[in-house]
A and B are shown apart, each in its own frame.
Chain A
């Protein structure tokens, strides 16, 4: 059960409505791309959905939320802190177990950065940091992915690699994207947001990039 059906979603900022009221229903197996101008309310909508579906989702926020003082391994491992007893987690902080080490290493390899396993997160580049947050979301392995511009700092081939990985691992997702081509390629449903309202909602096969550009 990873889809959701939410209605009456609203958000205001400084007394001004930025989102809604709108309804959003996402079924299992739908991979939704949120598109629209910056400031249209995509990030706010992702946040709202995250609040409403509880935390039974893997979230990649725009600001990533990494613990800079910890190495990559631990930032990724944090996705599964709820699966282990406290003693296990505490021990992992000092000396990780080999099963976790190999699974996280494999995950990083899929994202193109296996050599960074023990690098402190603070010393990574923007694109690497983004992939650490993505790895954490994948490792978390919830039924629903909520991601806000997860590949904004990645160059072409890497962006495709990562989006492909996300598509493969999450049957159901809502991803805010400013790159229209990526949206069309890796998502099966496109929702356009304009002035806080749904201005477009279509299967991606029925859309071309020109249709979407109308929103911008």
Chain B
């Protein structure tokens, strides 16, 4: 067993997580965590759909922001994918997708304010980077032979439209549809920083303990996501995409002077503005590093590693829920529902709920990250096991799980897990806004103190950390020769 590189890698990560756990701040500080959790579930089963007149509008705005953001993201991502070979483009895309939607929103809020453009760009920019990467991977995998057979003198555009796109089309469409679902989640959580989407009301209801109202919003959101195949039809798509911009709400007018001020004043480090020169800048940067960046990086990394392993364990525990090799149709259907709910709930909302119920520590964050990501990976590998044909006399029960299935899916399981490593870190950083001391906490504090120069430096550090993890994840995946579909 120990001679397998995959097993050794897994154990190494497990060991890192255990050590991380020793340093992590894990606690339930609420006096009555289970009573609160009980109240919450009571709220979910006694939903109040008429709590707020704004609820339906918020739902509409959530969908509108998702459509416009994802459409623009896929449009620009597509063109970036065409020139993705150039390394400046690669670096640019890695950079824009390393910054979380919420961070983008916080940045744009400073100069566009409550204008729809803030929410649209917060989704469109990071999504462009993600689309560029995945589209270019899909295009690279297309069969090159038809292109070689074209008559010389064929225009580049015609060659591209005939010989490359058709083969990639189905995959690109599937991926874009998946991203639309992600876009709905992103759009919903933008409400937490004040945009007029679902998160706005969800946050208000939760912070006031109005669990029936919150439950109703969550149920509406699950229904919205679960019914995507019913209402997102290829024929209706143009209608949605063209119509969505008119449902973003008015917001407040942009004052363009603010944009200039943000880039020429706000984000310039204060020692430079005050003319304290290089030595002033050094001590400013030194203080920022020691007091905020380093503790933030440490907590972000510790939480990421613990959450990554917890995600893996949960995924391995949850995939039998939907595997046809275990249980009957009733059990599998309930398993499906559970996984859909767990993966449709954005980590940010899950973490927010658990933090409200259990008090602040890394525990709610770990559980939220592991539940959401574990459900996604569990769903993917569970579906994969359904393609496995066991011999008729294969063992049953735990023997079947541990001897027949896990060894077969372990490599793709690891591939998915390392693929999500970067995503988990992005989320970990952002959870700081909720009060866990990761980088997002310090970014939020800097913004609350109107110190955008510090906030920008911290956001850049977060992006750098993400790019590093992304590269490391890719290195490990190639070292272990793990293949993965981009649709994860």
Contact = CB atoms under 8 A, between A and B. Distances in A.
Contacts of A56: 152
Contacts of B154: 81-82
A65 B154 CA distance: 16
B163 A90 contact: no
Interface stretch (A6-14, A67-75, A110-118, A148-156): A67-75
Contacts of B140: none
B162 A65 contact: no
Contacts of A54: 152
Contacts of A59: 149
A67 B166 contact: yes
B143 interface: yes
A154 B150 CA distance: 24
Contacts of B163: 67, 78
A86 B162 CA distance: 11
B152 A55 contact: yes
B153 interface: yes
B170 A69 contact: yes
A66 interface: yes
Interface in A67-100: 67-70, 74, 77-86, 89-90, 93
Interface residues of B, number: 21
Given A86-B158, A89-B155, A93-B162, A81 B167 contact: no
B145 A61 contact: yes
A63 interface: yes
A140 interface: yes
A81 B149 CA distance: 11
B159 interface: yes
B169 A63 contact: no
Given A65-B146, A81-B162, A86 B157 contact: yes
A104 to B, nearest CB: 14
A89 B162 contact: yes
B167 A65 contact: no
B151 interface: yes
Contact of B151 (A61, A63, A80): A80
Contacts of B149: 59, 61, 65, 78, 136
B235 interface: no
Contacts of B162: 67, 70, 74, 77-78, 81, 89, 93
B161 A90 contact: yes
Contacts of A83: 151
A140 B167 CA distance: 21
Nearest to B155: A86
B145 A63 contact: yes
A77 B153 CA distance: 15
Contacts of A85: 155
A68 B163 CA distance: 10
Nearest to A77: B162
A140 B169 contact: no
Interface in B101-150: 143, 145-146, 148-150
A66 B158 contact: no
Contacts of B157: 86, 89-90
Interface string A23-52: 000000000000000000000000000000
Contacts of B169: 69
Given A86-B157, A89-B161, A68 B151 contact: no
Given A59-B149, A81-B155, 7 more contacts: A55-B151, A55-B152, A66-B146, A67-B163, A78-B163, A80-B151, A83-B151
Interface of A: 54-56, 59, 61, 63-70, 74, 77-86, 89-90, 93, 136, 140, 142
24 contacts: A59-B149, A63-B145, A65-B149, A67-B143, A67-B167, A69-B170, A70-B166, A74-B166, A77-B162, A78-B150, A80-B151, A81-B150, A81-B159, A81-B162, A82-B150, A82-B154, A83-B151, A84-B158, A86-B155, A86-B157, A89-B161, A90-B161, A93-B161, A136-B149
Interface of B: 143, 145-146, 148-155, 157-159, 161-163, 166-167, 169-170
